[in-house]
């Protein structure tokens, strides 16, 4: 089941307390690619049952959350794991293949203790969630 959030504090609470890989789907109801992505994300959640949590943020209703993560395109999927925003894994435009790949990368880290995408991390270091404003 996809969860909707309506404020940054609620989002941070979920990210800091849930052990699963968390995908935050920034969308708008008028966005056709966003609507096309929804059933694909539901299937992804079923595929990775109990390993992935999908959260939706409606950028028209809650623009402050989108602004906190510098969202400029829709749909945009941000990945969180171990209380960290994995900025280098962000997917804009709804490429479901890349979304599955990124989930797999983070689950590999979770299961095997491997560092995901080491070469990408050299150029795009991960950012702690605390570096984003709560306002």
Count of CB atoms situated within 10 Å of the CB of 19? 11
Q: Which residue out of 8, 23, 34, 66 is catalytically annotated? A: 34
Q: If you search the block for the tokens 């990368």, which residue do you land on?
A: 105
Q: What is the 3-state secondary structure (H, E, C) of 39-57?
A: HHHHHHHHHCCCCEEEEEE
Q: What's the distance, CA 2 to chain centroid?
A: 12
Is 34 considered catalytic here? Answer: yes
Q: Which of 3, 10, 14, 31 is catalytic?
A: 31
Active site residue 78: no
Contact indicator for 25, 54 with CB cutoff of 8 Å: yes
Task: Report, as residue numbers or ranges, the catalytic residues.
Answer: 31, 34
């Amino acid at each position: 089941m996809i969860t909707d959030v309506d404020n940054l504090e609620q989002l941070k609470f979920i990210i800091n307390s849930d052990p699963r890989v968390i995908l935050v789907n920034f969308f708008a109801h008028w966005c056709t690619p966003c609507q096309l992505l929804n059933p694909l994300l539901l299937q992804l959640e079923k595929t990775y049952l109990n390993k992935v949590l999908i959260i939706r943020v409606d950028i028209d209703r809650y623009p402050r959350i989108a602004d906190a993560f510098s969202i400029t395109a829709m749909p945009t999927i941000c990945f969180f794991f171990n209380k960290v925003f994995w900025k280098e894994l962000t997917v804009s435009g709804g490429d479901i293949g890349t979304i599955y790949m990124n989930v797999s990368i983070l689950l590999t880290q979770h299961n095997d203790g491997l560092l995901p995408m080491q070469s990408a991390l050299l150029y795009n270091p991960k950012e702690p969630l605390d570096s984003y404003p709560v306002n």
